[in-house]
Amino acid sequence: MLIAGNWKMNLKYEDILKFKDILTDLKLDNQVEMAIFPQFPLLYSAKEYLSNYNIEIGAQACSSELKGAFTGDVSVEIISDIGCKYCIVGHSERRMFHNETNGFIKKASNLLLSKNIIPIICVGESEEIKNKKNTNQFIISQINECVPDNISSNLVIAYEPLWAIGTGVIPDYEEIFNVHAVIMNELSYIENLRVIYGGSVNVENCSKIFELNNVHGALIGGSSLKFKDFLAIYKSAVKQII
């Protein structure tokens, strides 16, 4: 399982230190990975302070170009040099505010894989698509357009329904199960594929989500900023393994 905290554009350098301080008596389970995704300028410090605790670090986005005149963008080379294991690609906020398309996501994912960074490709339907009962169709087309050709391992898909992000509302558990099944079926050729759920995961709903046997973790926004909640969610995932 993978419990990933997407800090988005929140928290500061001092919060990395606070996070480290509350980890002292946490024992990480070797079957449940913890990863955090702070803002770019904090990645290096996060790596330095947290790697002793076996916590993985990831980037929230990357460029689809290797290098060059792309002011403000961050290359996969730098993300790799810092020692990130993961990079989120195509988060709905990037699709919405930075025009990241399925084509961009595929290209960026290819670059990440070439640097041995595991892409966490985000997919998810809007409320309109859900209401039209077109979710499965939509997710399948996103998967087909975003996932690099010839990939055989090292991929995480985050299923994040847009209407569940930051709203406190989550799909029925059965609906999460069904969409994860669709994704796994579509990508059954990928070894060790992990499909994680994101969108309003919190201390109250996490154990029911982790009980679903095709959920391999969570991508957590708001609740990852409250460190006690984030650790409680992590512990709930560990309980599920035992």
Catalytic residue set: 91, 160
Angle in degrees, CA 35, 170, 86, rounded to 5 = 20
H or E segment at 9? none
Sequence-distant (6+) residues with CB within 8 A of 115 are 76, 77, 79, 80
Cβ distance 133 to 169 under 8 Å?
no
Sequence-distant (6+) residues with CB within 8 A of 231 are 22, 26
Which C-beta is closer to ligand 13P: that of 34 or that of 220? Answer: 220
Which C-beta is closer to ligand 13P: that of 77 or that of 207? Answer: 207
Which C-beta is closer to ligand 13P: that of 32 or that of 165? Answer: 165
Cβ distance 23 to 230 under 8 Å?
no
Give the residue from 186, 231, 238 showing the smallest Cα distance to 217.
Answer: 238
Minimum Å gap between C-beta 7 and ligand 13P is 10
User: What are the φ/ψ torsions at residue 16 (nearest 5 degrees)?
Assistant: -60, -45
Among 29, 173, 222, 232, binds ligand 13P (CB under 6 A): 222
How much of the chain is helix, strand and coil, in % rounded to 5?
45, 15, 40
Among 119, 124, 199, 217, binds ligand 13P (CB under 6 A): 199
Residues near ligand 13P (CB under 6 A), total: 14
Q: Is 75 in the site for ligand 13P (CB under 6 A)?
A: no
Q: Is 198 in the site for ligand 13P (CB under 6 A)?
A: yes
Burial class, 48, CB count within 10 angstroms (exposed 0-12 / middle 13-18 / buried 19+): middle
Among 50, 201, 233, 237, binds ligand 13P (CB under 6 A): 201
Q: Is 61 in the site for ligand 13P (CB under 6 A)?
A: no
Among 22, 81, 132, 166, binds ligand 13P (CB under 6 A): 166
Q: Is 200 in the site for ligand 13P (CB under 6 A)?
A: yes
Angle in degrees, CA 206, 24, 226, rounded to 5 = 40
Which C-beta is closer to ligand 13P: that of 105 or that of 165? Answer: 165
Which C-beta is closer to ligand 13P: that of 56 or that of 160? Answer: 160
Q: Could you give the string, one character per residue 109-148, with x where binding to ligand 13P holds by CB under 6 A and - elsewhere?
A: ----------------------------------------
Q: Is 219 in the site for ligand 13P (CB under 6 A)?
A: yes
Q: Which parts of this chain interact with ligand 13P (CB under 6 A)?
A: 6, 91, 160, 165-166, 198-201, 219-223
